[in-house]
Structure 1
Amino acid sequence: MKGLRSLPSVDRLLQAPQVETWLVAYGRPLTLDALREALEEARRNYPSKGEVPGDEFLLERAALLLAGWTRPTLLPVINASGVILHTNLGRAPLSQAALSAAQSVALGYSNLEYDLEAGKRGSRLVHAEALLTRLSGAEAALVVNNNAAAVLLALTALARRRGVVIARSQLVEIGGGFRVPEVMAQSGARLIEVGTTNRVHLSDYEQALESKPALFLRAHRSNFRITGFTSEPGLEQIVQVAHRAGLPVVDDLGSGALLDTARYGLGHEPMVQESLQAGTDLVCFSGDKLLGGPQAGILVGRADLVARLRKHPLARALRADKLCLAALSATLLHYLKDQAEREIPIWRMIAAPLDGLQARAVAWAAALGMGAAIPGQSTVGGGSLPEETLPTWLLALDVHRPERLHARLRRSTPPVIARTLVDRLVFDPRTVLPEQDSALLSAISQAVQE
């Protein structure tokens, strides 16, 4: 084992000039761990390689270990895919006001659960409630950490060990393989399916009353469509049947639009206000989809039902934190002040004029000295408006094996996410924030030259 005895000691490696920088950047304990790990790897590899690495190799290995151990896994990326609410890329980017609001409460203390008027303990549940009720017209509101949690809380608090009526056509599966029947099972509610996959009649709901359910649930099919020989009663009709029997209706809207998407050349996505106007007793929706805010599950509706949810033990486990509540409140203020289209990034993207998108794509091609601006399509994504697209302009690069260029772009800083279209790599300016243009062009230029 004479060869192994020639390995340097940790103390000797610590004397290397570059290690002094590591001690400042990473701290002494982590630096020591990296040096010891590099030495241990050399010992493990000696029987197969038969040689002992020199100091420089060991220091290079330690540097790689330190970089790998401290590299964040959650990174900002440039979304040039044209998918506005890209679930895999974090859905809705926040407005500047939402970011500032979250930062302001994160940097110091806040009145999260403190009543400033009374000078004693308050409730975090009041934050954002006034804004939500004013915008939606609901009596009360509650914020939890995501929409699946909102539905789970509603079913647990209102229908545990009792039946919940839902159309078979609405037993949807959302991202990650989570299914409405499974969420319902976790709540302790009993599933009462009515109708068939493609056709549901009002009489199906009326017959379901014989099972003595606790409530009716409507789950909006936000990520797929059923076409052809289909029929389904409207929400108002379902509400009437339920209310005649003294039962509440819970509407799982999912995407949570407060603006009419039809105004922007898209199909109409059901709005929170419309659901409440139809008589729904409780509406559940997401904060980070078409609302354009942080991840949150929002429940609005009857005050007595919301009060029951607030008192349920599960509400504490699912509650939203101060950063969410601050960012959500700032986002809702944009709607209240009629600023949504100007201030909320996803609505700026949806409303972006076609000539402006063309100008950016042309400018990108000119700056790079390669590629061409071509017409294309953007999508909303995020489990909203399935099959709906918006016309856009794309920067298209004709390159050999575009998937290789895309892989290099994903390794850039920041990573760039584009898409392949008929053997071209294309970049959609609709989903690239204007302040990201220079970083995008720099990443493309470097990746092409590699």
Structure 2
Amino acid sequence: MTDARRALPAIGVLLARRGVQALGEGAPRALLAEAARRAVADVREGRTPVPSDEAGWVARIAEVLHALQQPSLRAVFNATGVVLHTNLGRAPLAHAALEAINGTAAGACNLEYDIAEGRRGSRYAHCVALLCELTGAEDAIVVNNCAAALVLALNTFARDREAIVSRGELVEIGGSFRVPEIMARSGAALHEVGTTNRTHVDDYRAALGTATGALVKVHRSNFEITGFVAEATVRDLAPVAGTHGVPLLYDFGSGLMVDLSAHGLAGEPVARDGVRDGATLTMMSGDKLLGGPQAGIIVGRAEAVDACRRNPLCRALRVDKLTLAALEATLVLYRDPAAAMREVPVLAMLTAPADDIRARSESLGDALRAAGIPCDVVPAEATVGGGAFPAARIPSWAVALQGDALARDRQLRRGTEPVVGRIERDRLHLDLRSVPAALDLHLRRAIIGACAP
């Protein structure tokens, strides 16, 4: 039998066909030619079958062209029930933050210009006043993420010296990155004390010496240890660090600004706690429970923050104008905690009453069934995600699609507007707690567009 792949058409022949030429009306010829080459290569290498006629080739090239025109970074609907999903971009931004980005990105801005004095300014001046106001710190600086903030602080105070840290706090974070490996990149030598489950103040005190550059406290935000445990708090360690004249560096992580215990989420410290309890520097993320853009925020004592600011490494870790614009707009919301709970999407999603989630799920379920997509509305449990409140389970509701769960998952992921859910008990569940309520109508359209018969 003759292999049909031996008679594949030349690229030039394909590009000359009327149907393929019609595809080029919305694409540059070079891109169309690349789509044709890839379509032929897919057939030649056996990834796709040989099209039987010209219409088949046009359809295949159109499919490849569409894929080439899709941006790599795309908006998706997070219906996993994990509110701060690291793989899905963590915190959605508040409307005020989006407006600030648009206003700053559209033209010139005073990123490094002092308008009042008419001379060069510093990008590190932005957000400082707000961060100090909200946390009680003397000074602040913003870099590109929390790991960078920790590296900068350690490099500033403990390069070629020892950083004392509990063994129970040498955690692994997302993407297989480990805190001790990140800390080592700062040039500090780690001096581990205590055990996995129990570390006491005296362990730190005994380790202090002439080679000590800093004490380090890492908040275990993405897991819990229970049972026979002990740890030294920031409040415990502050006087020890002060007596020996070394800084206490607190990797706080989550960025939580308001107490959520009234909403069933208790046990997570807030940013102000580290400053109040005596940490020299407190480091946190901008895109977790703070609900802003990716950023590493350092707050604390003025002389310590200034030392970080003067470190040449700071320039390599600096943030851009869009991050600063979004962060400032988000921080402004926290001046009125009630407004922040309404307008910062992460806080609104985490604290929404379960009955509200159920009503939204029922509405979505009704619309899907009317479109011929069988489903049920079922109780669910959402999680915070983002390495915060690891043991918390938040009552929620989900739309459970009937039919083959893997097939439904593929349909939704490959739709024009991808929807990501979770498979549970052989059904695809779409948990609306992790979807901002303002997107409900768009989510409905995306699901119907991908799954309607």
TM-score normalised over the length of structure 1: 0.91
Residue 63 of structure 1 aligns to which amino acid in structure 2?
Answer: A
Distance 1:36 1:354 in 2: 52
Partner of residue 315, structure 2: 316
Matched residue of 2:185: which SS? helix
Structure 2: 5+ residue stretches without partners: none
Question: Alpha-carbon deviation of 1:8?
Answer: 6.5
Does the 8 Å contact 2:286/2:327 carry over to 1? yes
Partner of residue 13, structure 1: 15
The aligned runs of 1:185-264 (5 Å cut-off) are 185-210=184-209, 212-264=211-263
Distance 1:320 1:239 in 2: 30
Residue 91 of structure 1 aligns to which amino acid in structure 2?
Answer: R
Partner of residue 290, structure 2: 291
Partner of residue 411, structure 2: 408
Partner of residue 347, structure 1: 347
Structure 1 residues 20, 323: CA separation in 2 closer, same or farther (over 3 Å shift)?
same
Partner of residue 32, structure 2: 31
Matched residue of 1:360: which SS? helix
Question: Alpha-carbon deviation of 1:249?
Answer: 0.4
Residue 408 of structure 1 aligns to which amino acid in structure 2?
Answer: Q
Partner of residue 377, structure 2: 373
Quote the sequence identity (%): 45
- 1:419-439: per-residue Cα shift (whole Å, max 9, x none)? 223233322221122233233
Structure 1 residues 119, 14: CA separation in 2 closer, same or farther (over 3 Å shift)?
farther
Residue 185 of structure 2 aligns to which amino acid in structure 1?
Answer: Q
Structure 1 residues 57, 408: CA separation in 2 closer, same or farther (over 3 Å shift)?
closer
Question: Alpha-carbon deviation of 1:91?
Answer: 0.3
Residue 218 of structure 2 aligns to which amino acid in structure 1?
Answer: A
Partner of residue 362, structure 1: 362
- 1:25-57: per-residue Cα shift (whole Å, max 9, x none)? 322332344456667888x689xx9x9986555
Paired residues, number: 442
Partner of residue 267, structure 1: 266
Matched residue of 1:333: which SS? helix
Question: Alpha-carbon deviation of 1:407?
Answer: 2.2
Distance 1:21 1:119 in 2: 53
Structure 1 residues 371, 6: CA separation in 2 closer, same or farther (over 3 Å shift)?
closer
The aligned runs of 1:104-183 (5 Å cut-off) are 104-183=103-182
Matched residue of 1:336: which SS? coil
Does the 8 Å contact 2:24/2:32 carry over to 1? yes
Residue 31 of structure 2 aligns to which amino acid in structure 1?
Answer: L
> Do residues 439 (structure 1) and 447 (structure 2) align?
no
Structure 1 residues 222, 20: CA separation in 2 closer, same or farther (over 3 Å shift)?
same
- Select which of 390, 394, 397 maps to 1:390: 394
Distance 1:204 1:351 in 2: 39
CA-based RMSD = 2.6
Does the 8 Å contact 1:266/1:389 carry over to 2? no
Distance 1:5 1:198 in 2: 68
Structure 1 residues 444, 246: CA separation in 2 closer, same or farther (over 3 Å shift)?
same
Residue 93 of structure 1 aligns to which amino acid in structure 2?
Answer: P
Does the 8 Å contact 1:8/1:55 carry over to 2? no
Question: Alpha-carbon deviation of 1:96?
Answer: 0.9
Structure 1 residues 278, 359: CA separation in 2 closer, same or farther (over 3 Å shift)?
same
The aligned runs of 1:321-340 (5 Å cut-off) are 321-338=320-337, 339-340=339-340
The aligned runs of 1:413-432 (5 Å cut-off) are 413-432=416-435
Structure 1: 5+ residue stretches without partners: none
TM-score normalised over the length of structure 2: 0.90
Question: Alpha-carbon deviation of 1:61?
Answer: 4.2
Question: Alpha-carbon deviation of 1:169?
Answer: 0.6
Distance 1:135 1:337 in 2: 11
Deviates more, 1:246-255 or 1:26-35: 26-35
